[in-house]
Amino acid sequence: MPEDPVIQASTAPPPRDTLHPTIGTLLSMPLLSTKVSHGARTMQGMKKVHSTEHGSLYQGDCLELLAAQPDDSVAVVFADPPFNLGKDYGTTHHGNRISDDMRDLEYVDWCAKWVKECARVLAPGGAIWLYNLPKWNIDIGHQLNELGLMFRHWVAVDIKMLLPIPARLYPSHYSLLYYTNGKPRVFDRPRIPIPVCRHCGGDIRDYGGHRNKLNPQGLNLTDVWTDIPPVRHARTKTRAANQLSEKMLERVLSISSVEADLVLDPFGGSGTTYVVAERMHRNWIGIELGDTKPIIERLRGESTYVHRPRNGDSGKGMTSARKLRLTTEEPSRLFPS
């Protein structure tokens, strides 16, 4: 691990089942002409708050971190930004409140800034995954298209939603956009276990009578993910940071990276990406504008207990009262008017 993790994409040999088995292939891939060349600033002045065997965590604004990261240096970007739902993310270390309540255009413009930087730092063949409400990922997908990245998937991550919204269909998924910088360097398609009834253990589908032809290793993963559990902190409930399922990050990193690849997540939250990257021997670099203590504790293994409620996490850690207001009085926050 270099002293400062502003480092290059992987030099580790990818496994046999990756699309581009040698780093030579990676380096010979053409760069996108739309990418902006950007002299990287130094990381001096940025507050590094923690480092591990594989990564470094900074405290501050992701735009600063991204500006310091060289072009074409990151193998995977994963971003789960605030969804502009008016959530309380606490304050920065300067004591300023973290805004999650912008006007729609302001929010889209802010996303355009960090999305552009994420695209710039992405190595040829690298992957970018962006998790958001469908309402925002429409705009963000357009931004990625304009930047010349290659659309791979709009993954619908099934969520157990809030309450029914008047005059709307019942919303039941978040969007996980998956783009790559040209042809993917790594694409390892996972299989998922053949689903069975949790009561009787029998198959829940009949596969048109072709059950015996299914691959015993499981079904091909589709672009609808129904098996991602919601997660909420039990010990850190007072903090507004929500936590994605580690299963989602494991899947994302398995699909699009190999050991020693560099993973960047510009919105640390409670550090799910960093914890999973560390466990999967990916290098990582991360930043959080607010309190970084929960991330550090988690990386140290000091707060591993998580509570898995039966209901969904669609409200991203909001109070029930806030969820109710959102669905009954402010549905336009979830959907364009």
Ligand X SMILES: C[S@@+](CC[C@H](N)C(=O)[O-])C[C@H]1O[C@@H](n2cnc3c(N)ncnc32)[C@H](O)[C@@H]1O
Chain residues that interact with ligand X, rule: CB under 6 A: 61-62, 80-82, 89, 98, 241-244, 266-267, 269-272, 287-290
**Closer by beta carbon to ligand X, 23 or else 246:** 246
**Closer by beta carbon to ligand X, 26 or else 306:** 306
Residue with tokens 């009561």: 199
Q: Nearest CA to 188 among 75, 272, 29, 24?
A: 75
Q: Residue type at 61?
A: D
Closest contact distance (angstroms) between CB of 144 and ligand X is: 19
Closest contact distance (angstroms) between CB of 29 and ligand X is: 29
What residues contact residue 291 under an 8 Å CB cut-off, 6+ apart?
90, 239, 241
Closest contact distance (angstroms) between CB of 242 and ligand X is: 6
User: Taking a C-beta distance cutoff of 8 angstroms, is the pair 288, 62 a contact?
Assistant: no
Cα torsion 188, 156, 139, 330: sign: negative
**Closer by beta carbon to ligand X, 26 or else 252:** 252
**Closer by beta carbon to ligand X, 180 or else 243:** 243
**Closer by beta carbon to ligand X, 18 or else 132:** 132
Q: In the complex, which residue's CB is closest to ligand X?
A: 269
User: Taking a C-beta distance cutoff of 8 angstroms, is the pair 44, 5 a contact?
Assistant: no
Closest contact distance (angstroms) between CB of 1 and ligand X is: 22
What does the DSSP assignment read for 12-50? SPPPTTSSS-SHHHHHHSPPPTTPPP-PPPPSTTSEEEE
Q: What is d(CA 284, CA 134) in angstroms, rounded to the nearest whole number?
A: 27
Residue with tokens 């992405």: 122
**Closer by beta carbon to ligand X, 38 or else 293:** 293
Bridge partners (DSSP) listed for residue 51: 56
**Closer by beta carbon to ligand X, 185 or else 282:** 282
What strands lie across the sheet with 55-59, from one edge to the other? 47-51, 55-59, 283-288, 262-265, 74-79, 122-132, 173-180, 150-158, 224-225
**Closer by beta carbon to ligand X, 26 or else 74:** 74
Closest contact distance (angstroms) between CB of 23 and ligand X is: 29
273 φ/ψ angles, rounded to the nearest 5 degrees? -60, -40
Closest contact distance (angstroms) between CB of 271 and ligand X is: 6
Closest contact distance (angstroms) between CB of 317 and ligand X is: 8
Closest contact distance (angstroms) between CB of 26 and ligand X is: 27
Q: What is d(CA 150, CA 292) in angstroms, rounded to the nearest whole number?
A: 33
